[in-house]
Structure 1
Amino acid sequence: MTDVAVLGGGIGGLTAAHELADRGLSVTVYEATDQFGGKARSIPLSDAERPLHGEHGFRFFPAFYRHVVETMARIPDGDSTVADNLVETEATLIASATAADQVAETRTPDPVRGWLESLRPAFAEDVPARDVRFLLERLCYLLTSCEARRAEELDDVSWWAFVDAENRSPEFRDRLAFATQSLVALRPELGSARTIGTIYLQLLLGQLDPTRPTERILNAPTSEAWIDPWIRHLETLGVEFRPNAPVTELEFDGRRITGAALADGETVVADEYVLAVPVEVAPELVTPALTRAAPELGRIERLETAWMNGIQFYLSEDVTLTRGHQVYADSPWALTSISQRQFWTDYDLDGRGPDEATGVISAIASDWETPGLVYERPARECTREEIATEIWEQLKAHLNAPAERLRDELLVDWFLDPAIVETDGGVENRSPLLINTVGSLRNRPPADVGVANLTLASDYVRTNSDLASMESANEAGRRAANAILSRHGGTNARATIWDLEEPAVFEPFKRQDRIRYRLGLPHPAAVTQSLRTMTRGLVQNG
């Protein structure tokens, strides 16, 4: 029996373990902390038998998430599966401190009017028609571009530049900002046109697909609804779990990994090793010898991270807001949130914490560099207490007009991601998030890096969505498992990998562009854009 050591117990590592154990391999998962699930896990607030839970940030599952949902459907949970714990949202609130609220429907639309209404926030009435028309042209550019052009040309252009944001209306720029800040780790000024454009299209297309829910979330904290049942199921498959076992070194003989040294002095010896540690940890384990054998490993350190961390506010009343997410369009710290209790049908707050806690608002701060409203300092320069106060005040500034929805007397307690640790000059983040940046695709390694018995399974692995997410981590875990299964032969079917789906009507245009790209010719829309830019410049210069 092939013996596999999975180094890291996040979504990528657990997925690899699941796929391999399902096919009869012997798997042990080594995790640096005392909890499995990585950034997706819930964090108990106490040692009580039924504690309250906090999270690194709330979870959401858009329509194009296929890998992770299929895995969830294979995890038993009582008389059903973990996939049955997914609940469809209905609407997203776009709140502003200076303008009226807007509500975007996220339920699967039925008639054409419903489709148009669901897309209204992306092409809202406050955005000039010429800008809406231009954005549609840019999206068509993407939809008709071949994969090589996307990967080699559009990955080297920022989404901000691709949509000509600097020369568009303020309303257009604001719309782009909050349309992407609600996506995990996508920043329009930094992210590539390839990735942000592709994911933006997936979200829009997901709203028009009547066969899948547009967006879903879990009906309880992540660990209770997903991670804990997953661990129990993997144990029934024979997977062994080793918490508090961080790896400190990969021993390499020039061709194979011969052992993985743990912090306690133990050396793990296995037939195969799956490296599933976070992006900030992986470079510490990549030696010069490994880089010479697999140059892709040496480029991991070039990938960039950002701070996107969550906080939960426990309230004496259940303030439901919308039945879905909230996006705070002009908040200094780029906040998003969700009122959780209305969805947590299988999670009773009674007896888990303060008796008066009956509601939970979970928020994520995505901008830690911009001064806030209260202390006029960036989040990274504040204390944990100041961060909580600042986020609470920013929420109130957006939600309390015209009607007061959040009051100070409602606040019972709060829980900030423990990865945010206080220092002398503010805070440091011990769990940063991988972000997409221009040109970063070339720095993302494949799951199979060419070392005889080493594979990678984490969200920095090159996947179809190229996005720091549960979906990418799950796909990476499947790719790692498939590489191992291929090396060891056998008749076991490989784990399924799905491509991102786009309307088939654009395929002839992609084939045509494939020929143009091979000939070194620009995309037809690029020529149109160049002429339009030149004309605008002539007009502006008189």
Structure 2
Amino acid sequence: MAKAASTKKRPAKKSSASKAKSKKTKASTQRGARRTRNEGNRVAVLGGGISGMTAALKLARAGFDVTIFEMQERLGGNTSSREINGVEHDVYPHMFCSWYDNFWHLFEEELGGDKEAMFEPRAGSQVLQKGETEFKTLLNATSIEAAIENLKSGVLSPAEMWLLGYSALDLAAHPFNRKGVDLMEMLSVNGFIFSRGYGTEDVAAMQNYLLTLIWSIPSAWTAAATYQNFLRHTFSFPNHAPFNFLMKASLEDGLNAPFVDALNDAGCSIRLKTEITAVRLCNDDDRPEIFFRDSLDDHLEHDSDRLEKNENDVESEIFDYAVMALPVTKCCDMILGAPRGREGRRIIDRLPELAEMQKLSSVSIPVVDLYLNRKLDDFPSDHIALAGSKYGLTVLDISQLWRDEDFDGKTALVLAASEGAAIPSVELERQGELMLQEFAEFFPEFNPGKHWKDEDSDVDWHKSWIRSNKHYQLFLNDTGSWAHRPQTLYEDALPRFVFAGDCVRTDTDMATVEGAIQGGIQAAAAIQAQDAILNGHARRGAPIEIVPHTVYSTATLRFAALFYLPATYVAYAMAAYDQWKKRMEEGEHSIGENEFTMAEYCLLIPLQFTIDWWKAAYWFGRSLIGENNEDPLGGRIMYLPMAGGRGEGGPRLQSEEMVDPKYDHDHVIGLPEAILKVALEVLEYASGREDPHGRGSEAETVRQHDAVDDVVDIAVNLIGKGLRLGESLVEGYANRRSRGNQPRRRRHRVKR
């Protein structure tokens, strides 16, 4: 039977943190407190970000008694807001991609949200070069029209835009060994582009720019294998999906308030403004003991004013399970925390290899919410990347997203500095001042004033706000980090302790909202499974499962890379010729020491193409006859199962009858279906389909092409039968080559 959870308090007075409530987020500690009889199901969730909230909601609805500990005055973490002078300020401006299946399921099914009412789709983003006035548009390349528009966008030459797109496809198809220990596999995105025969400086620079803007990490640091997982999830051609969705309200109003309501309804106890000081594992049964105290009001931006708290103010509680959903630096503090005479063992004493987490990196992005006292005319509604800015600036006009009455017809912008480390100041308002001055370089009609809070400016200083976000850091997927990232569960060493957050290993992998939510679901599923195993009873509640993504198979991606390789080298030859021609026009007849002449290019390009073609053909063949060709990430890539299944990263269940484990891979689009989808897209495009990016409604397009669709359906059925026959022959050949008598594995297909 489960041992009763105990509570220790020093002193005996009630913590003021249990009374703390945000003005809008009304968190309650009473619902969880109503459960008086311990059933061995008490869970402490350390960290109230979106990953911790997801784990808490899943567990509470499964019948666990959950308590969330959050240091800030509101839940949400990096997806939270703060109210200043009556104005909601989001910590970060977030984009929500269409393939965030677990986020959309959470928002619509579990929080009761209305996607259409709360989110606005965006076909792409804008790029503005310093000194120019024309915005260039990059679309989500999920249709032929969008791909053609990108080639003509002017961001790069058409040839190098093709090379940029192909480099992403090539990376998605590359055979990485994801065990995390092979030094040859610790390749950066920039290193990957350098290793390709078609790589150019402009392509590498654009890829570096995109990664820096979105994740604040240069391509020379970004792990190529991790970025591969992200790319595999984003490839959805052809489905005409928007680039992203933007929330039409603050994160507090649109996401966190309904989330907190759901947590309260599920019976969660929420302790805001409560700082975790230590975590110990009880010597007799490994139950986690959580030490905590009230956090101070001034911790958000002014650490220099913090006062030392007396050790006697610390309280502690023993729980049956714990979810570590803290930021990386705080997580390391809890893992390595000094004993200081407390009973119990540190986490690091049970699992010394977790010390490797200290090698993980994170960064904060300074953000200015810029409210103007006038309207900027003809300002785009999309995200805008300010190319060539000193601090990697991006800008979003929220006055075109949120309710009109919030802005009185005036412009309100969110200005983020992805390269905040380049700002030559540590003083917060000086950072904001420099960001506004750099923004004015792109928009000369804007008057930033001579200094922060200069009344002779276009800024409404009462509503505007600068924040360093040093307490809201973003995890960096740098090269080699995979080996140091925690699994969800270490069942032998830490049977009652799980990890969540965007640093946990998931198949999404890159630090995203989707990855954080998936980490929370994995943590909840692991506790649900472990609870059944350790206590010898049936699983509590319905199975906690991850919503599968839809991805292309490895064979499909490698076939596409092989198919487009000739066109890629034609584009590379065009780019080389353009570079040579430009140099001749500028009178630079000499070449650099490490550069090729045009004659050498003519000799080398065919040789490079031949070598790359045979490599691509080999790996495509391997994906067809390999034993794991139906796995979306292939046999050479570690694809972590969620808790409840077997394999690395998930708990090995001891009794299938007792727990009924279930794990499904992502839905995989195989090569035959992918060919049919692309063929249908080409036929529709050839028939003169309306541009889905704003010129013609979906209903009109359907009516115009009913006749074409009827013909295509017949062709699809005939071609599909032939391709399935060919696939069966390939499978039969592979089965004859396989070693041993292995059971036949069912192939996962997208349901039609």
TM tier, smaller: 0.7 to 0.9
Q: Tell me whether 1:96 sits opposite 2:148 in the alignment.
A: no
Q: Partners of 1:165 and 1:360 in 2: how far apart?
A: 44
Q: Please report how far the alpha carbon of residue 239 of structure 1 lies from its aligned counterpart in structure 2 after TM superposition.
A: 1.0
Q: Tell me whether 1:63 sits opposite 2:98 in the alignment.
A: yes
Pick aligned residue for 2:243 from 197, 207, 214: 214
Pick aligned residue for 1:199 from 230, 233, 254: 230
Q: Please report how far the alpha carbon of residue 283 of structure 1 lies from its aligned counterpart in structure 2 after TM superposition.
A: 0.9
2:440 corresponding residue in structure 1: 396
Q: Tell me whether 1:307 sits opposite 2:364 in the alignment.
A: yes
Q: Partners of 2:249 and 2:557 in 1: how far apart?
A: 44
1:54 corresponding residue in structure 2: 89
Q: Please report how far the alpha carbon of residue 364 of structure 1 lies from its aligned counterpart in structure 2 after TM superposition.
A: 1.0
Q: Please report how far the alpha carbon of residue 278 of structure 1 lies from its aligned counterpart in structure 2 after TM superposition.
A: 1.0
Q: Please report how far the alpha carbon of residue 417 of structure 1 lies from its aligned counterpart in structure 2 after TM superposition.
A: 4.9
| One-letter identity of the residue aligned with 1:144 | A
Deviations 1:361-400 (CA, angstroms, capped at 9, x unpaired)? 0011111333xxxxxxx34x24222211211121121234
Q: Partners of 1:7 and 1:83 in 2: how far apart?
A: 33
| One-letter identity of the residue aligned with 1:96 | Q
Q: Partners of 1:363 and 1:9 in 2: how far apart?
A: 26
Q: Comparing 188-197 with 153-162, which one deviates more in the overlay?
A: 153-162
DSSP-derived class of the 1:141 partner: helix
1:227 corresponding residue in structure 2: 256
Q: Please report how far the alpha carbon of residue 118 of structure 1 lies from its aligned counterpart in structure 2 after TM superposition.
A: 4.7
Q: Please report how far the alpha carbon of residue 154 of structure 1 lies from its aligned counterpart in structure 2 after TM superposition.
A: 7.6
Q: Tell me whether 1:481 sits opposite 2:481 in the alignment.
A: no
Q: Please report how far the alpha carbon of residue 16 of structure 1 lies from its aligned counterpart in structure 2 after TM superposition.
A: 0.2
Are the counterparts in 2 of residues 30 and 242 from structure 1 also a CA contact under 8 Å?
A: yes
Q: Rg: which structure is higher?
A: 2
Q: Please report how far the alpha carbon of residue 257 of structure 1 lies from its aligned counterpart in structure 2 after TM superposition.
A: 3.3
Provide structure 1 residue ranges, at least 5 long, that are not aligned to the other structure: 351-355, 371-377, 421-428, 514-523
Q: Partners of 1:445 and 1:95 in 2: how far apart?
A: 39
Pick aligned residue for 1:365 from 412, 417, 434: 417
DSSP-derived class of the 1:283 partner: helix
Q: Partners of 1:81 and 1:322 in 2: how far apart?
A: 25
Cα distance 1:395–1:143, how it changes in 2: closer, same or farther (>3 A)? same
Provide structure 2 residue ranges, at least 5 long, that are not aligned to the other structure: 1-38, 294-312, 338-345, 450-456, 533-537, 574-592, 601-752
Q: Please report how far the alpha carbon of residue 435 of structure 1 lies from its aligned counterpart in structure 2 after TM superposition.
A: 0.9
Identical amino acids, percent of aligned pairs: 18
Q: Partners of 1:493 and 1:86 in 2: how far apart?
A: 30
Name the count of aligned residue pairs. 485
DSSP-derived class of the 1:182 partner: helix
RMSD, matched Cα: 3.4
Q: Partners of 2:93 and 2:222 in 1: how far apart?
A: 22
Q: Please report how far the alpha carbon of residue 200 of structure 1 lies from its aligned counterpart in structure 2 after TM superposition.
A: 4.7
1:41 corresponding residue in structure 2: 80
1:326 corresponding residue in structure 2: 384
Q: Which has the higher strand share?
A: 1
Q: Partners of 1:120 and 1:3 in 2: how far apart?
A: 58
Q: Partners of 1:358 and 1:154 in 2: how far apart?
A: 54
2:484 corresponding residue in structure 1: 443
Q: Partners of 1:190 and 1:505 in 2: how far apart?
A: 25
Q: Please report how far the alpha carbon of residue 498 of structure 1 lies from its aligned counterpart in structure 2 after TM superposition.
A: 4.7
1:516 corresponding residue in structure 2: none
* RCO higher in structure (CA 8 A, sep ≥6): 1
| One-letter identity of the residue aligned with 1:386 | R
Cα distance 1:138–1:172, how it changes in 2: closer, same or farther (>3 A)? closer
1:246 corresponding residue in structure 2: 275
Q: Partners of 1:452 and 1:89 in 2: how far apart?
A: 44
Q: Partners of 1:299 and 1:398 in 2: how far apart?
A: 43
DSSP-derived class of the 2:74 partner: coil
Are the counterparts in 2 of residues 44 and 53 from structure 1 also a CA contact under 8 Å?
A: yes
Q: Partners of 1:202 and 1:98 in 2: how far apart?
A: 36
DSSP-derived class of the 1:61 partner: coil
2:495 corresponding residue in structure 1: 452
Cα distance 1:453–1:309, how it changes in 2: closer, same or farther (>3 A)? same
Deviations 1:452-494 (CA, angstroms, capped at 9, x unpaired)? 1111111111112222222211111000000011112335443
Q: Please report how far the alpha carbon of residue 119 of structure 1 lies from its aligned counterpart in structure 2 after TM superposition.
A: 6.2
Q: Please report how far the alpha carbon of residue 170 of structure 1 lies from its aligned counterpart in structure 2 after TM superposition.
A: 5.0
Are the counterparts in 1 of residues 152 and 158 from structure 2 also a CA contact under 8 Å?
A: no
Q: Partners of 2:109 and 2:150 in 1: how far apart?
A: 31
Are the counterparts in 1 of residues 488 and 499 from structure 2 also a CA contact under 8 Å?
A: yes
Cα distance 1:314–1:503, how it changes in 2: closer, same or farther (>3 A)? same
| One-letter identity of the residue aligned with 2:208 | A
Q: Partners of 1:407 and 1:478 in 2: how far apart?
A: 45
Q: Please report how far the alpha carbon of residue 499 of structure 1 lies from its aligned counterpart in structure 2 after TM superposition.
A: 5.5
1:183 corresponding residue in structure 2: 214
Cα distance 1:118–1:206, how it changes in 2: closer, same or farther (>3 A)? farther
Cα distance 1:455–1:283, how it changes in 2: closer, same or farther (>3 A)? same
| One-letter identity of the residue aligned with 1:388 | G
Q: Partners of 1:287 and 1:446 in 2: how far apart?
A: 17
Cα distance 1:447–1:383, how it changes in 2: closer, same or farther (>3 A)? same
Q: Tell me whether 1:163 sits opposite 2:198 in the alignment.
A: no
Q: Which has the higher helix share?
A: 2
2:684 corresponding residue in structure 1: none
| One-letter identity of the residue aligned with 1:117 | E
Are the counterparts in 2 of residues 127 and 172 from structure 1 also a CA contact under 8 Å?
A: no
Q: Partners of 2:558 and 2:227 in 1: how far apart?
A: 21
Are the counterparts in 1 of residues 363 and 476 from structure 2 also a CA contact under 8 Å?
A: yes
| One-letter identity of the residue aligned with 1:273 | A
Cα distance 1:342–1:145, how it changes in 2: closer, same or farther (>3 A)? same
Q: Please report how far the alpha carbon of residue 262 of structure 1 lies from its aligned counterpart in structure 2 after TM superposition.
A: 0.7
Q: Please report how far the alpha carbon of residue 89 of structure 1 lies from its aligned counterpart in structure 2 after TM superposition.
A: 1.9
Deviations 1:168-223 (CA, angstroms, capped at 9, x unpaired)? 655334422332233234421211112234435644x357433x433001111101
Taking structure 1 as the reference length, what is the TM-score of the superposition? 0.80
Pick aligned residue for 1:431 from 472, 486, 490: 472
Q: Please report how far the alpha carbon of residue 150 of structure 1 lies from its aligned counterpart in structure 2 after TM superposition.
A: 8.9
Q: Partners of 1:58 and 1:471 in 2: how far apart?
A: 15
1:116 corresponding residue in structure 2: 148
DSSP-derived class of the 1:341 partner: helix
DSSP-derived class of the 2:333 partner: helix
| One-letter identity of the residue aligned with 1:126 | L
DSSP-derived class of the 1:280 partner: helix
Pick aligned residue for 2:512 from 469, 474, 492: 469
